[in-house]
């Protein structure tokens, strides 16, 4: 554990929502909060020797954005250790380097209503694919204040595939729920097998129930060691016999945090590849989404 949470700062409402969420998380983890803003032109003009940066100075807006971010955090969490960092680098490079020194990277994600699936920018996609620490996307809902973007309220929810190792994902989910004192909801979505359909395209109830029962047994087995490790944590397990992405979104309406996994091997493929379940979660879930890399 590095005991550092990094949040990106860019002066937008989405960024402020992410900063407040990251501050809440840092308080829960008793970690330091690093606020990072990167702008390549910071290196082209020397900083003033002392005092605030005056308006009209080339670096005025980066300093103003950072000052506003620090003020927002200290107004809510006056005792939280905060490290404001301005760097003269490309934002992707700076955030990726910061992620290597952090337990968590937190970024803002716009909510544009019906077209929200287009809201996650290229930078967020690249960082999610190439960072080894969990990345959290925090949505700034329209009409909501920055500190209403989510954080501690509601259940913690984790989506599990059960077709691959998911220990890192479960460790993050159980730890997140325990820190919040919130229930954990584990959801597994699975297509009905071909033998559950008859020749007319209808579903055979007995075969469908057998498939669902098998999935429930697998989910119970995956959760059992973690239930024993966290005996006081309330855990609700759900199997939904439908496509995994819709199953996750149908269950996330009242969640305070949605946790999904991303396989490391996607980093070996060209371009940003995060899988259709993660894609659906980060674009459509109404709550903050944590993307956890795992083997």
Cα–Cα distance for residue pair 241/291, rounded to 1 Å: 23
Query: Hey, what CATH class is 153-294 in?
Result: alpha beta
For residues 108 and 118, the model is more confident at: 108
> Is residue 122 scored above 80 in pLDDT?
no
97, 116, 268, 166 alpha-carbon torsion, rounded to 10°: 90
Q: What is the pTM of this model?
A: 0.87
Packing angle, helices 91-99 and 122-130, rounded to 10: 30
Model pLDDT, residue 4? 97
pLDDT at 53: 63
Mean pLDDT rounded to a whole number for the chain: 84
Backbone angles phi, psi at 188, to 5 degrees: -125, 125
The number of angstroms, rounded, from the C-alpha of 111 to the middle of its chain's C-alpha atoms is 15
Q: Any idea which of 37-41, 158-162, 227-231 has the lowest mean pLDDT?
A: 37-41
CATH 3.40.50.620 segments of the chain:
1-143, 153-294
228 compared with 200, residue with greater pLDDT: 228
Which residues share a beta bridge with 87? 38
Distance CA 121, CA 14 (A): 12
Q: Are 275 and 262 in contact (CB under 8 A)?
A: yes
Q: What is the pLDDT of residues 214-260, one digit of tens each?
A: 999 999 999 999 999 999 999 999 999 889 899 999 888 889 999 99
1-143 topology per CATH: Rossmann fold (3.40.50)
Six token digits for residue 69: 């971010």
Q: Listing from the earlier edge strand, what are the strands of the sheet with 104-110?
A: 82-87, 32-38, 4-8, 104-110, 135-140, 289-294, 255-263, 155-159, 184-189, 235-240
292 and 263 Cβ atoms separated by less than 8 Å: no
- If one compares 158 and 285, the residue with the highest pLDDT of the two is 158
Q: Which among 117-121, 153-157, 210-214 has the top mean pLDDT?
A: 210-214
With pLDDT > 90 as the criterion, what percentage of the chain qualifies?
A: 50
Task: Name the pLDDT band for 127 (thresholds 50, 70, 90).
Answer: confident
Q: At 240, which helix (H) or strand (E)?
A: strand 235-240
């Amino acid at each position: 554990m590095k005991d550092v949470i990094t949040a990106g700062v860019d002066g937008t409402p989405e960024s402020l929502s992410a900063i407040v969420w990251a501050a809440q998380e840092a308080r829960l983890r008793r970690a330091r909060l690093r606020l990072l803003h990167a702008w390549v032109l910071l290196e082209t003009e020397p900083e003033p020797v002392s005092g605030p940066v005056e308006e009209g100075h080339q670096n005025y807006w980066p300093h103003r954005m950072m000052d506003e971010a620090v003020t927002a955090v200290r107004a809510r969490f006056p005792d939280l250790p905060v490290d404001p960092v301005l760097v003269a680098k490309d934002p992707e490079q700076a955030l990726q380097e910061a992620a290597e020194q952090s337990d968590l990277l937190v970024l803002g994600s716009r909510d544009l209503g019906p077209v929200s699936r287009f809201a996650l920018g290229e930078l967020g996609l690249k960082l999610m694919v190439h960072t080894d620490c969990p990345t959290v996307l925090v949505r700034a809902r329209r009409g909501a204040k920055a500190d209403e973007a989510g954080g501690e309220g509601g259940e913690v929810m984790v989506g599990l595939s059960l077709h691959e190792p998911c220990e890192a994902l479960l460790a993050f989910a159980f730890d997140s729920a325990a820190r919040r004192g919130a229930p954990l909801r584990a959801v597994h979505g699975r297509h009905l097998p071909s033998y559950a359909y008859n020749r007319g395209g209808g579903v055979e109830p007995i075969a469908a129930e057998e498939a669902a029962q098998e999935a429930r047994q697998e989910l119970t087995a995956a959760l059992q060691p973690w239930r024993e490790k966290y005996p006081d944590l309330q855990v609700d397990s759900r199997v939904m016999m439908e496509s995994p992405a819709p199953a996750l979104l149908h269950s996330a309406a009242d969640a305070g945090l949605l946790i999904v996994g991303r396989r490391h091997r996607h980093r070996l493929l060209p371009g940003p590849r995060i899988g259709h379940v993660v894609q659906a979660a980060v674009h459509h879930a109404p709550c903050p989404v944590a993307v956890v890399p795992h083997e």
